[in-house]
Amino acid sequence: MRKKTGLTVVEQAIKVVPSFQRVVTKLEQQVAIRGQSNSTLNNYIRRIALFVIHFEKLPEYIEEDEIIEYLASLARDPKSPSRSSFKHMVYGLRYYYRLLGMNKQAIALPSLRQDTKLPVILNRSELRELFSAPKLLKQSIVLALIYSAGLRGQEVINLKISDVDFERKTIHIRQSKYKKDRIIPLSPAMAIGLIKYLNAENPHIWLFNGKEPDGRYSVRGLSWVMRENLKKTSITKDVSLHTLRHTYATHLLEEGINIVTLKELLGHADITTTMIYLHVAQCELIKPHSPLDTLYKQRDNKV
């Protein structure tokens, strides 16, 4: 994020308060030690930098009532209906105070109500319409791949050609969220599409080349592909790129996969995260019964 000065928000904060450089270094060290993602680090640092620029001081030198007033203005901001700026600022400040051992200040920050919205899911007709919308093969393949394997945007751009094993029909996701590797199935239909794409586009190293400095695609670019192709469809649901991952999980549940296996496929650290899909999946209802009722029934059927 760069302002008109040509400096990033973090660089501006360091210019305004030079001691903020030590904070940045300490945050980087802590995130590395805890194995957290760079996106988490960057988000925290940007939020704290905006805070520092606003007050022209480090957070520990700001009075509590001033902080509350500032956070209240973010919460009331009509340009942020989801209150994401407010929430991320609170998360960033909590992390900062705990980093300095100022737990009382962290606890004193406003508590955040957990969102209770269920994920929006695309039906199969909508998926077929979406995948046929792109004119470019690359766009069609990348959207279909996200759904076929339930990938996060960051996981897609990190995929190398060598991570796809066409013989074993697997995809190797490396060091994703929570610094975990996982192996997921490669759909035979998806494998055909990927081979066609590889022969046509001839990408180098990365499965999807883009304009990033290291040659990769960007998550922003993936989101753009999703938005632009949605415009060509009749889909009216409020969806995003991540909707394809939600849809993957829900459809697998509906097709009978168990929740523990789904947790591993999605790379969730906690099964409670996976259980949200139980509320949206349209699974066949089985009338409550005793297993004794079916114990002899199955044998009788074989006679």
Q: From the candidates 47, 87, 94, 152, which is the catalytic residue?
A: 152
State the catalytic residue, choosing from 57, 88, 177, 182: 177
Residue 152 catalytic? Answer: yes
- Catalytic status, residue 287: no
Q: Of the residues 88, 138, 172, 242, which is catalytic?
A: 242
152 Ramachandran zone, left/alpha/beta (phi>0; psi -120 to 50): beta
Name residues whose C-beta falls within 8 Å of residue 282's C-beta, 6 or more positions apart in sequence: 254
246 flagged as catalytic? no
| Catalytic residue check, 204 | no
Q: Where are the alpha helices (DSSP H) in the chain?
A: 9-16, 20-34, 38-55, 64-75, 84-99, 103-108, 124-132, 137-149, 153-157, 188-201, 219-230, 243-254, 259-266, 271-274, 292-295, 297-302
- Tell me which of 216, 245, 251, 263 is the catalytic residue: 245
- Give CA–CA dist 196/271, Å, rounded: 36
Joined together, the tokens standing for residue 52 give 């520092």
Active site residue 128: no
What's the gap between Cα 55 and its chain centre?
31
Nearest to 54 by CA among 100, 99, 20: 20
Q: Catalytic annotation on 268?
A: yes
Active-site residue list: 152, 177, 242, 245, 268, 277
